[in-house]
Amino acid sequence: MEYNIYSRTWRVLHSSSVSEPGTCCQLYGQSVCAYGSKLLFFGGSTGKSYSNDLYEFCTITHSWNKWETTGDIPSPRYKHQCVIVNDTMYLFGGGDCKPSSGGLQVYALNLKSKNWEVVQSKGKIPQDRVAHTCVLDENTGQIFLWGGFTSSLERLQDLYVLDFGSMKWGSISTPKEKPSCRAFHASCIYNGSMFIFGGANGERRHSDIWEYQIRYTPPSLMALAAKAIAKMPAVAENGDNKYSVPPEVLDGLDRAEEGSDWFQRSRQSSFNALPFCRESVESVAEGQSWLKDVSSSDFESNIHGKKNLQLQVFKHAANRARRLSWGEAPDKGRHQVSVSTSL
């Protein structure tokens, strides 16, 4: 199946297989990574047995192909995590119904030579686990690993970071207020934050959403000025509709002032249109000559004298946010980009 984000429609893909038809589609808990125009599926389980096969799906020809790999091929497993850095796919953890009791297993597959090797990492290596999540911050070249369960079936809530330059692990201490212990959750990274959704602790399933702020990008001049605009009366158009600063624009500034790494997102605010509002505000603002080469104080004074521009900018932002949001209110959608996920 293929889902088009922009048209919000599903369609069935009629695919062809060049080897072992249907085998990959009968598995669950495998990892999926995007590599150019291809999707790479590794491992998984049928519910009775486990796999260590690697399949390729071409998004252009809609064809399947099984890769023949060499070297230190990982044992059959499911609920592991994979990420691709340049032309290497890294595999983290996973196993059968119970992982090993040692340190986290890390493998690397050279996607050019199709050869596997065991990665010797150092530092504070995490305990081996299953049903955890990993996200790759491409800006810093770091992997962030969270949660999962151990060989004793203990659910975890620890957070680790792996630096690819040194292949060194570190443990990140987080505040008391953070996601509860869980496994089988989903994670993605967006705009410098890792988002965690759902999961289970063995007794109950979760439906909460948490955000961990990996890095903070300073807000644009327009976003900073939004606070000054917010103190002004709302602007009325034709004495009818009123427009002021969308609360989503101020959300990033408010969270930055809270001084916490973890943020629990309510269902209403989790899938909001902040990126699109900010993008729209900046795209409109870039076309205004009075925004160029001015100081912050000049910028603020200019804004106070240009209510018509305020109306234009934020009306445009609100309209664009509505066009690009997922689903119906109150859940507003974000694009979610992840280099790896488990099915």
Q: Is the pLDDT of residue 54 over 70?
A: yes
- Neighbour-count burial of 99, counting CB atoms closer than 10 A to its CB (0-12 exposed, 13-18 middle, 19+ buried): buried
Q: Which domains are assigned to the chain?
A: 2-215 (2.120.10.80), 221-260+272-324 (no CATH)
pLDDT tens per residue, range 160-205: 999 988 999 999 987 778 899 999 999 999 988 999 999 999 899 9
Lowest mean pLDDT among 36-40, 249-253, 325-329: 325-329
Q: Is the pLDDT of residue 216 over 60?
A: yes
pLDDT tens per residue, range 102-153: 899 999 999 999 999 999 999 999 999 999 999 999 988 999 999 999 999 9
Q: Is the dihedral of CA 102, 104, 110, 111 positive or negative?
A: positive
Q: Helix (H) and strand (E) counts for the chain?
A: 6, 24
Contacts of residue 130, defined as CB under 8 A and 6 or more positions apart, other chains included, come to 77, 78, 79, 80, 93, 94, 95, 97, 98, 99, 148, 149, 183
**What pTM does this model have?**
0.68
pLDDT tens per residue, range 266-314: 543 333 333 333 333 333 333 322 222 223 333 333 434 444 444 454 4
Q: Is the pLDDT of residue 233 over 50?
A: yes
Q: Is the pLDDT of residue 333 over 50?
A: no
